[in-house]
Amino acid sequence: MEILTVEDVADKSNKSVKTIRRQIAEGSLKASKINNRYRITKEDFNYWYKQYKKGVNDKSIFDNVEFVNQESKKVNYVDISSLWYRDGWHNVNERNGYNFIDLFSGAGGLSCGLVMAGWTPIASVEIMEQAVATYKHNFIDKKGFIENVEVQDIRDKTVKNKLYKSVEGQNIDLIVGGFPCQGFSMAGNRIVTDKRNTLYLDMLEIVNYLKPKIVVMENVLGLRSMLGGKVEAKIINDFESIGYKINVAVLNAADYYTPQIRKRVIFIGNRINVTNYHPKPLLKAEEYKTTKEAIEDLMTRKKDLLFNHVPTVHSKEMQKKLSKVKEGESLYKNYSDSWKKCPWDKPSCTVKENHGAVNIHPKLPRVLTARELARLQSFPDDFVFSGSKKWQLTQIGNAVPCYLGKAIGLAVEMMLNDE
């Protein structure tokens, strides 16, 4: 069996090495990693090349995208400060009577925030087994919400049909979806045809079928600049084609009492002819909550498995290295977004999944625990994460900060009240 390297494939197809790596990363070209280098069989190369020559390319679904009108870029901020006291997570009497479906729920950061704002979840879809276990434990077992929660792939037609049947006869107020953002991320190759980048089309299909009054979508900041804005334009145009007027804005979680700088693109749309509201910031920069305020009390707390507070035991040599890292800098120069030391008297740097590489404690010679990271993501302390520590960190890093979800939930509620 003839085996090819990335360079061999680039040479045979007259493409750049970067293009070949992109094709491998998105799953179009099958490859195996041997001794940390990709290897491609001749058969897999031939199959891929035939498909590639047929016109499969990075811009295929965006070729005919027209740019959206400027009205969608207008941000209509609404003051939510009078409702911020509400805590539907701990007080059932503070529920607002509105329901929602979370299509890419993960562990439930956005869902938790919406429940804080008073919303009631009636369905969710998630593919990660450990995240589903976390969601079940917190929303079903502890809070008693009535949902059929199981590991499901949203691309599967049977999953969609099961979702439709589970909410049959109900008027849906809101569908939310933080569709997977890795493909849109500014890190890596930013692959336009990454299969994760078209999952919003599955959300589009579900929204078109269930016709909620309002739809909210969340994604990373890098989405806005992809293909000169065409990715954002296509998402807006597609949802407007099924009757949803869309407005989009960048929100910073730190503006809503989250002790972390975390900016996200938030699309809000409705089909009930009301103004789309984004939540007005609650804090000025000088008022932001700090890492110290969030986790200082945990510095002396002993190991607590049930609380997700299990400090990593580093070697003495690693402890010395971690102690020398300056706030805001990384242990490794080539990985500036991982092994990064959080500032103590400012909001934390962005919490990321980073394949298990986590933030460094500003005062102690160790990385942060899952509970400390959960605090920085504004999860309540009674929200417990399932799975091994690795999977806990993955769930927390991928989550929407709960307080950001709460702010959005309060703003959307005011839209429904306008109706």
Distance (Å, rounded) from C-alpha 377 to C-alpha 372?
9
Distance (Å, rounded) from C-alpha 62 to C-alpha 232?
10
- Within 194-282, strands assigned E span 214-220, 245-252, 263-270, 278-279
AA letter at 291: T
Distance (Å, rounded) from C-alpha 116 to C-alpha 407?
9
Question: Which is nearest to 117 in space by CA: 133, 99, 136?
Answer: 99
Tokens coding 79:
């003051």
Spot the catalytic one: 181, 342, 349, 402: 181
Whether 181 is catalytic: yes
Q: What is the CA radius of gyration of the chain?
A: 22
Helix (H, G, I), strand (E, B) or coil at 298: helix
Q: How far is CA 371 from CA 146, 303, 311, 366, 367, in A?
A: 27, 11, 10, 14, 12
Backbone angles phi, psi at 205, to 5 degrees: -60, -45
- What is the set of active-site residues? 181
